[in-house]
């Protein structure tokens, strides 16, 4: 009698795949909503609102204990917080200057580079070349349509995204549950608070601004982090990373629907090349990794 397991397997993965895609949609639409905040609170104020509200919510839910950790544990949490602050600050500065879709396309090069370096295989460098071709198309021979400063900020956000991936793995090994994330968000909120208050000032206390900031925090931090945590318990890391590579396409959709940011045919092709390169690089990394041990 044939094994019925293959027929049930896709159905079993539908739940976690939906969680990952839902989290990605939440992040990108949260970024689009954040762009609506910029005229009222400034970029720095929007970053501060997002991180502060998210930190307060997670600290209230997790109530992490502060004793029983060593210096290395706290150093890892601090580095995670720095990565969160840098990633959010640079990315929000980027989307103030360039459309959301191209910004995420450039940002995703950070995790792509990390995947290539982890694999150390010739095929990985081929995928990296494809990604660079996509970036060259996006620039159209010198970023004549994109603001150069915005493009540079998006690339910087990508580097901080790679640092976020590395530091989050270390924190996950040192702190139970989401305690490390809650503490790192608190660090990130404190780091961005001075600039946020200087730029946003009293506007940050406006009820409408607070409401938008709360929506951004929930959409961009609380909801996606929770969904991703649940998905990773049932989904292979490689599959998870491939789904996350769809970020540029989702960002372009969010920018079009919320901010009315249209993309040219060349920019759509460039985004597709970066997505394809990300998926290919992740598959090469997954093939090179040893099989997981028993849970």
User: Are the beta carbons of 122 and 72 closer than 8 angstroms?
Assistant: no
* Whether pLDDT at 122 is above 90: no
How far is the C-alpha of 14 from the C-alpha of 162, rounded, in Å?
Answer: 27
The domain locations on the chain are 15-288
Pull the structure tokens for residue 87: 């990633």
How confident is the model at residue 86, as a pLDDT?
94
Write the pLDDT tens digit of every residue in 79-120.
999 999 999 999 989 988 888 777 877 887 787 777 667 666
* Whether pLDDT at 70 is above 80: yes
Give the count of beta carbons closer than 10 Å to the beta carbon of residue 223.
17
- At residue 275 the predicted structure's pLDDT band, cuts being 50, 70 and 90, is confident
Which residue, 133, 134, 51, 137, is CA-closest to 91? 51
- Point out the least confidently predicted range of 71-85, 137-151, 182-196: 137-151
User: Are the beta carbons of 70 and 137 closer than 8 angstroms?
Assistant: no
* Whether pLDDT at 4 is above 50: no
Write the pLDDT tens digit of every residue in 162-173.
888 788 878 877
- At residue 183 the predicted structure's pLDDT band, cuts being 50, 70 and 90, is very high
8-state DSSP, 204: G
Mean pLDDT of 199-226: 83
Q: What is the DSSP string of 25-36?
A: HHHHHHHHHHHH
Q: Full-prediction pTM beyond 0.85?
A: no
Q: Encode 243-269: b = buried (16+ Cβ within 10 Å), e = exposed.
A: bbbbbbbbbbbbbbebbebebeeebee
User: Are the beta carbons of 293 and 243 closer than 8 angstroms?
Assistant: no
How far is the C-alpha of 47 from the C-alpha of 84, rounded, in Å?
Answer: 10
Mean pLDDT of 238-258: 67
Residue 3 phi/psi, 5-degree rounding, is -70, 120
* Whether pLDDT at 12 is above 60: no
Residue 36 phi/psi, 5-degree rounding, is -70, -20
């Amino acid at each position: 009698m044939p094994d019925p397991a293959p027929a049930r397997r896709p159905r079993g993965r539908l739940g976690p795949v939906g969680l990952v895609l839902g989290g990605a949609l939440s992040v990108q639409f949260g970024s689009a909503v954040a762009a609506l905040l910029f005229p009222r609170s400034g970029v720095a104020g929007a970053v501060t609102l997002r991180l502060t509200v998210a930190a307060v919510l997670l600290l209230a839910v997790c109530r992490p204990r502060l004793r029983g950790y060593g210096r290395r544990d706290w150093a890892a949490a601090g580095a995670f917080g720095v990565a969160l602050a840098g990633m959010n600050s640079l990315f929000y500065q980027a989307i103030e200057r360039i459309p959301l879709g191209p910004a995420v396309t450039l940002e995703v090069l950070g995790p792509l580079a990390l995947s290539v370096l982890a694999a150390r295989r010739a095929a990985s460098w081929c995928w990296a070349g494809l990604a660079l071709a996509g970036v060259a198309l996006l620039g159209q021979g010198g970023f004549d349509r994109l603001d150069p400063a915005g493009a540079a900020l998006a690339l910087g956000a990508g580097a901080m995204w790679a640092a976020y991936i590395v530091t989050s793995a270390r924190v996950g090994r040192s702190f139970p549950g989401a305690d490390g994330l809650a503490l790192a968000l608190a660090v990130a909120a404190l780091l961005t608070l001075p600039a946020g208050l200087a730029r946003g000032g009293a506007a940050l206390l406006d009820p409408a601004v607070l409401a938008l900031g709360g929506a951004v925090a929930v959409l961009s931090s609380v909801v996606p982090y929770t969904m991703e945590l649940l998905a990773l318990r049932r989904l292979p890391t490689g599959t998870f990373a491939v789904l996350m590579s769809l970020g540029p396409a989702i960002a372009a959709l969010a920018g079009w629907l919320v901010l009315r940011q249209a993309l040219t045919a060349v920019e759509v092709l460039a985004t597709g090349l970066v997505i394809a390169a990300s998926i290919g690089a992740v598959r090469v990394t997954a093939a090179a990794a040893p099989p997981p041990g028993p849970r």
